[in-house]
Amino acid sequence: MLTEWRDLQARCGQAVAGASAIDLSGLEERAPTLTYNRRLTDGTRRYIGQGVARVGTTAPRGVWGRPGGSLELRVIEMKTRPGTRTICEIIPRRGGPGLTAAQMELLRDAYGDMRDRAVATGAWTAVTLRSDDRTRRMGMELHQPNARECSVIASLTVEPATGYFRSAVSEKADVPTCGGPSLLTAQNRQGSATRDPRTQGATAG
């Protein structure tokens, strides 16, 4: 579980913070769901449907996971003036058994260790996110915007009582110049079935 999460977290961090194509090698593609997303990083509540995103709306671009894995990597793109901004998140596999409170605690501890290491590099700053007895959150923000002129925030949200878990790295909608071409490319998607998975550390940058 921890190895799987670290791998997916690294893929999200390297792509969003590094403004580079998302590495999907070794992952299997799964169909996105149609849902009313109440958990977008920027606090908005918009319907997520299939198709091309329009300005001010979101659309799922895909869901991937390790074969037989218990987590999924989900990519959501928000249309912006320069193109799109990206939300890359790790969630429990749909249709799976979900995560236990003990598993979420292990993931929360692993996230805290990853955040401390990232902050120690000087590239990230720890941020305080609203938490309460039910919802526990932590996060960090990249010191400088990425190459797409987007501020980048990495966050973790767990709700042990409900089984909710979400780890994400996101481009924030704080300036109109944020965004660019999709971080999902045709070449990258084609290669997802042929290249070995990258299993580097959990650093989100």
pTM of the model: 0.78
pLDDT per residue over 143-194, tens digit each?
A: 999 999 999 999 999 998 888 999 999 999 888 999 999 898 744 443 333 2
Q: Residue 104 and residue 164: Cα distance in Å, rounded?
A: 9
pLDDT per residue over 9-68, tens digit each?
A: 999 999 999 999 999 999 998 876 544 444 444 444 444 443 333 334 444 568 899 999
What is residue 78's predicted lDDT score, i.e. its pLDDT? 85
CA atoms within 13 Å, Cβ hemisphere of 92 = 19
At residue 192, what is the residue type?
S
CA 192 to chain centroid: 18
Residue spans per domain, the chain:
2-189
CA 96 to chain centroid: 19
